[in-house]
Structure 1
Amino acid sequence: MKKDNMQKFAKAVDDGVHLKNTSDWIGPEESLELLELGRALAGQDYSKAHKAAVLAKVQSRTQLKQEAKPMKIQTGWKRPAMIVASLLVAGALSVSFVKPSYAQDLLGRVLQSINLGNIIAHEMDAAQIPDFPKEWEGKLFDKEGNVITSDSEKVSEIYNAAGEQIVNFDGDKLITKSEQEQRDKEAAERIVAVKSREELDKYAMFKVKLPEYLPEGFAFDRGEFYKSEEGVNGKYLDLFFSSEHEGQDLKMHFRYSDKETAYEMSFSGKVEPVKINGVDAVMMDDRNLDWEADGVLYNIVTHGLDRAEVLKIAESLR
């Protein structure tokens, strides 16, 4: 990014970082996309020795399995497609606001970007790991009650001063296991689960395509929409598939394609351009796929399946 463009970006984000709702944003769209990277990262100063282990655990609820549910719920349906962001430590981290100083550092870690229009994927330099939040210093403890410091050994679990396990974060606020369970309960009340293709088409704002090919042992289980006070949000659909084989998993996430649902993601693993039925797509670590076709943003997330199987599933959507 050229110096003058970076300065414009920094000013635009600085003007908007305190907005209560990003729907009030009046700056350039490209700045909004990075603006939405992360409240969780704003003004942060991290330690180094244990940062990967700590962040990996704290972010475990928001890892980029591309599930997007936390984003939809947090935004109250006004911008459910909060940019699926951009910070991979031991997976990925979904964040919402970032200060200009961090944005500049973030851009410096991008090895390559693949732009599909309403989907942008970045391959990040995994060697350059973001630091640990200064706001959390003295607030994180290991299982034995020892304060986690820059000299701490890697930890497997994180706790607060009261001995409650920390499993997530929201901005600078650390979320305990009990608080997350309550959030999950409230989120579950917003789910509309459907089993038939007819119901999928009833709620969705787009033609729902299901895979004609599934690996042995897989079967369609259900689709999930989310509702607010205004009713079911037909722009977003999550599809879940059951498997008879342990260690194998398949999920799909569909979005009606527009500026609201556009998303940006980053990954510390391999990111490469591929084709799905002649359409440009991006594949990450040979197991996740994203592309846009016929006005729909498609995302497939798998575990335990090889590259050929993942591509075959995607190409069989009808």
Structure 2
Amino acid sequence: MGRKGIEDRFAIEMDAYLKGIKSSNKLESEECNELLELGKALSDKDFSESSNKEEVFNKTLKNISKYKGEDIMKKSKGTKHPITKVASFALVCILGFSLMQASFAQDVINKIVRTISLGHITIYEEESSEIESYPVPSKLKGKVFDKDGNPIEVFSKDNAGNIYTADGEKIADLDFLTGEITTVAQWEKEKEEYTLVVENISELNDYTCFNVILPSYLPEGYEFDRAEFFKDENGIVENTKYIVLYFTNEKTGKYIYMQQRFADEETAYETGADKVEEIKINGVDAIMYDERNIDWEANGVIYMLNGREITKNELIKIAESIK
């Protein structure tokens, strides 16, 4: 049975469970049954003040796709193009190995305290759960190791972002269903093939369908480094809705990451965070979360700013200089 067939079977079995229909059917593979059992366990939990099992399940499915990069660079329905993988890697570099955060459904496990919507941006403020680890699925056992070469039996926050192959290559992505592993080196090779790098600031607007605005303020030592665009199926970039920007401090090697998107239903997204603060950026509603990210929408453009090494005040100052 193909991947789509497995997903359909998984959805059917979970739908039956949510409706109270008991089934002894088993999916075709052990790892699928592991996910099915986890899905059932998740649906039995009270995640919010007004628990709704169907909503929980739907969000679980959305987050399965989220961790595979689907929500980062949405394409037309069908097989995922490598562009989505490259886009997902861009966030892996910034946020760490998100797939390893407790389980594949980390956002669902957490209790949602409140939901904030800003145009095409939805942020869930969450209360961290007590679940801090997740057993390595059968398909990945014996394939993942720590930096010292010791086999990993449990994924946890302690080893998130530091998973390696038996040969000591750092891992960028794992597939819980198939056991497929993608190393950082493989990611970078794909990135070279499917991204266009532009270092001339004056050329940025030649590729987008919206007006790209760079910050007029950057902390000392930081300068514009490059912009990256994701090529389409024909290998070209034209009127794209996405641009990724890097501002680097050459002395320290640290960088500020920004993504700008043309605001519409295709580019809309949802994300969750433990610490969420509502702020204003040039009079527009914005969200600062986990003290290193600011997201906002203005003049038909979505701005996503990340500065993991930048103070909160500096990050706000950068955002306010974009106008």
Give the residue type in structure 1 aligned to 2:108.
L
Which residue matches 2:229?
A: 225
In the aligned structure 2, how far is the partner of 1:92 from the partner of 1:158?
8
Q: Name the Cα RMSD after superposition.
A: 4.5
Which residue matches 2:7?
A: none
| CA contact 2:278–2:286 (8 Å) conserved in 1 | yes
In the aligned structure 1, how far is the partner of 2:288 from the partner of 2:122?
12
Which residue matches 2:263?
A: 257
Matched, 1:237 2:239: no
CA deviations over 1:4-60 (Å, ceiling 9, x no partner): xxxxxx649x9xxx9xxxxxxxxxx9987753311598xxxxxxxxxxxxxxxxx9x
In the aligned structure 1, how far is the partner of 2:136 from the partner of 2:145?
14
Which residue matches 1:120?
A: 122
| CA contact 1:79–1:261 (8 Å) conserved in 2 | no
Gap regions ≥5 residues in structure 1: 1-9, 19-28, 42-58, 85-89
Which residue matches 2:217?
A: 213
Which residue matches 1:304?
A: 309
- Higher relative contact order by CA 8 Å / sep ≥ 6: 1 or 2? 1
Q: Secondary structure at the match of 1:228?
A: coil
Q: Secondary structure at the match of 2:237?
A: strand
| CA contact 1:33–1:83 (8 Å) conserved in 2 | no
In the aligned structure 1, how far is the partner of 2:145 from the partner of 2:269?
34
| CA contact 2:284–2:298 (8 Å) conserved in 1 | yes
Which residue matches 2:208?
A: 204
1:91-170 correspondence runs (5 A):
93=98, 106=108, 109-128=111-130, 129=132, 131-135=134-138, 136-137=140-141, 139-141=143-145, 147-149=151-153, 158-159=163-164, 163=167, 165=169, 167-170=171-174
Which residue matches 2:190?
A: 186
Give the residue type in structure 2 aligned to 1:131.
Y
| CA contact 2:146–2:159 (8 Å) conserved in 1 | yes
Structure-2-length-normalised TM-score? 0.63
In the aligned structure 2, how far is the partner of 1:143 from the partner of 1:292?
40
1:260-299 correspondence runs (5 A):
260-268=266-274, 270-299=275-304
| CA contact 2:248–2:254 (8 Å) conserved in 1 | no
Q: Secondary structure at the match of 1:131?
A: strand
Q: Secondary structure at the match of 2:259?
A: strand
The 3 A distance-change label for structure 1 pair 238 and 146 is closer
Deviates more, 1:241-250 or 1:137-146: 137-146
Which residue matches 2:48?
A: none
Structure-1-length-normalised TM-score? 0.64
Which residue matches 2:42?
A: none
Q: Secondary structure at the match of 1:274?
A: strand
CA deviations over 1:206-226 (Å, ceiling 9, x no partner): 111111111222211221111
Pairwise CA distance, 1:280: 1.0
In the aligned structure 1, how far is the partner of 2:191 from the partner of 2:276?
31
The 3 A distance-change label for structure 1 pair 215 and 274 is same
In the aligned structure 2, how far is the partner of 1:33 from the partner of 1:82?
21
CA deviations over 1:35-94 (Å, ceiling 9, x no partner): 3311598xxxxxxxxxxxxxxxxx9xx9xxx9x58x88x93278789999xxxxx96626
Q: Secondary structure at the match of 1:36?
A: helix
In the aligned structure 2, how far is the partner of 1:123 from the partner of 1:257?
22
Pairwise CA distance, 1:126: 3.1
The 3 A distance-change label for structure 1 pair 283 and 146 is closer
Pairwise CA distance, 1:133: 4.2
Give the residue type in structure 1 aligned to 2:285.
D
1:6-17 correspondence runs (5 A):
11=15
